[in-house]
Amino acid sequence: MIGTALADMPAAPVARTERIDSLDILRGIAVFGILLMNISAFGLIWQAYGNPLAAGGATGLNLRLFEIMNVGFEGTMRGIFSMLFGAGIVLLTDRMERAGAGVSAADIYFRRMSWLGLFGFIHWSFLLWPGEILFAYAICGFGLFVLRKVPARWQFGIGIAILALAAVKLGMAYHDTLDKAQAAAEAQAIVADGGTLGEDQRAALDSWKETSAEYIPTEETNAMFADWHGGSYLNAVQGQLPFSFEFQWVNAPFWLAFDMAPFMLIGMAMLKWGVLSAARSTRFYAVMMAAGYAVGIPLGIYELGLLQAGEYGPVGSAAAGRTYQISRLAMVFGHVGLVMCVVRLGLLKRLQRWFAAAGQMALTNYIAQTVICVALFYDFGFGLYGRFERYELYLIVLAIAAAEMAFSAVWLRNFRFGPLEWLWRSLTYLQRQPMRRAQALAPSPLRTT
């Protein structure tokens, strides 16, 4: 029965005239902002993401750039991307239901999330990016389907409440980290005095070494990352798989519940309120920007000071984590307010079009960034792992962004979707979608943004 309904129902890609430009612009900015944050983990050892002392240069321009990224962009681009994903859930399901899709709407939706999850699995297991987010987004998408019709004020309130719980959890983690550090210090003092460690003391010392290695490179972690990058493709897949599995599964519950899902809920509410579609006044967005930055920037500088005081180790990171969700949310609001002001005022029109094109092809561009970085930094490619300073990696990001924006703009002149967007839609609807603009059918009652 459902299969027949789907066969009778026309596929539902978004016509160019139906797209919400502000969403595409934000999505394009976010996809490049995510690469800006992730590039250090591609081109340097993993710990360099949050520790400038680990690799990439810890003085001068390199340090200044790390500080700017840490205060201005850490977690915010992912937050915006998550908000847009939540908004997309509402757009997709509302349009299908208004068109009378009935049960088929849920069928299409869950198939869409299933394929996204498979793309994400391939991304972290075979395309060698442990930090990928599509897999987690798909899992969140399954759970958030039931909340799509909740009133906006409740979606926003639930999202804020979850972030508040996350702040509480991170505050508790800070005290746990202090306890671990104290226990390890006591064990180290015994060793320094020539004493013998008990079983609990050895366990405390081993636990602290493992925790510290997440932030501060060791010979073992350096060797592990070098091994991934230094051999064949098969060697890289086998080497990184346990690390990726731990990141995607062991750490997944926190990221799903306290990082991604609340921003998706907030995004649902902000779409319904017209915030993400640039439907509010310019004054509204100016106040949003000013308030967000007034809270986020000072808090971010405070957190950076804690990181520096703790030499970017576990204690400093845990101390900064206590206010992380507040500063992150505030900076997201500030960034969204700024972009919407630019859109409302009609500034930088050409740049807006380039970002919108990249955002319309966000899935293709996101995966392509990984393919490019793997080719650059692994030995079965150009073998440039560990060769660049931080500022040079940011120049590579600018080059990738420029190339992808140009490619996206040219591609969309001739085609309705990006390559992976076309594949995703075709798999979702169990029907090959017309790709070239000349092949486009009459406007469909459904939409798959």
pLDDT (tens digit per residue) in 181-207 = 999 999 898 888 888 888 888 999 999
Helices (runs of H) and strands (runs of E) counted in the chain: 19, 0
State the DSSP code for 279: -
Give the model's pLDDT for residue 278: 95
Q: Is residue 446 part of a domain?
A: no
- 274-283: long-range contacts at Cβ-Cβ below 8 A with a sequence spacing of 24 or more? 275/336, 275/340, 276/20, 276/22, 276/23, 276/26, 276/83, 276/84, 276/87, 276/336, 277/20, 277/22, 277/23, 278/21, 278/22, 278/340, 278/343, 278/344, 280/340, 281/344, 282/341, 282/344, 282/345
Residue 262, both tokens: 């609340």
Cβ count within 10 A of residue 2: 12
357, 412 Cβ separation under 8 angstroms = yes
Q: Is residue 239 part of a domain?
A: yes
427, 62 Cβ separation under 8 angstroms = no
**Cβ partners under 8 Å of residue 80, min gap 6:** 26, 29, 30, 33, 332, 335, 336
Give the model's pLDDT for residue 445: 38
Alpha-carbon span 187 to 348, nearest angstrom: 59
- The kind and range of the H/E element at 84 are helix 76-98
Q: Is residue 444 part of a domain?
A: no
Among 206, 246, 218, 209, CA closest to 45: 218
Query: What is Dmax (Cα atoms) for the chain?
Result: 82
Q: How would you class 347 by CB atoms within 10 Å of its CB: exposed for 0-12, middle for 13-18, buried for 19 or more?
A: exposed
Q: Is residue 289 part of a domain?
A: yes
Residue with tokens 């594949």: 423
Query: Residue 385, SS3?
Result: coil
0.85 surpassed by pTM:
yes
pLDDT digits over 309-351, tens only? Answer: 999 999 999 999 999 999 999 999 999 999 999 999 999 999 9
Alpha-carbon span 372 to 310, nearest angstrom: 34
Rg (CA), the chain: 23
Give the model's pLDDT for residue 448: 35
Range of the domain at 56: 2-396+405-439
Q: In Å, what is the CA distance from 206 to each residue of 12, 85, 177, 203, 312? A: 55, 40, 14, 5, 20
Alpha-carbon span 36 to 183, nearest angstrom: 37
Give the model's pLDDT for residue 449: 35
Q: Is residue 447 part of a domain?
A: no
Among 132, 79, 24, 77, CA closest to 408: 24
Q: Is residue 292 part of a domain?
A: yes
The stretches in the chain having pLDDT less than 50 are 1-13, 17, 441-449
Angle at which helices 60-72 and 282-309 cross, to 10°: 130
Give the model's pLDDT for residue 440: 52
Alpha-carbon span 420 to 436, nearest angstrom: 14
What total number of domains does the chain contain?
1
Point out which residues pair with 436 in neighbouring strands. 415
Among 35, 152, 131, CA closest to 86: 152
Alpha-carbon span 33 to 82, nearest angstrom: 13
Residue 215, both tokens: 């932030």
Point out which residues pair with 415 in neighbouring strands. 436
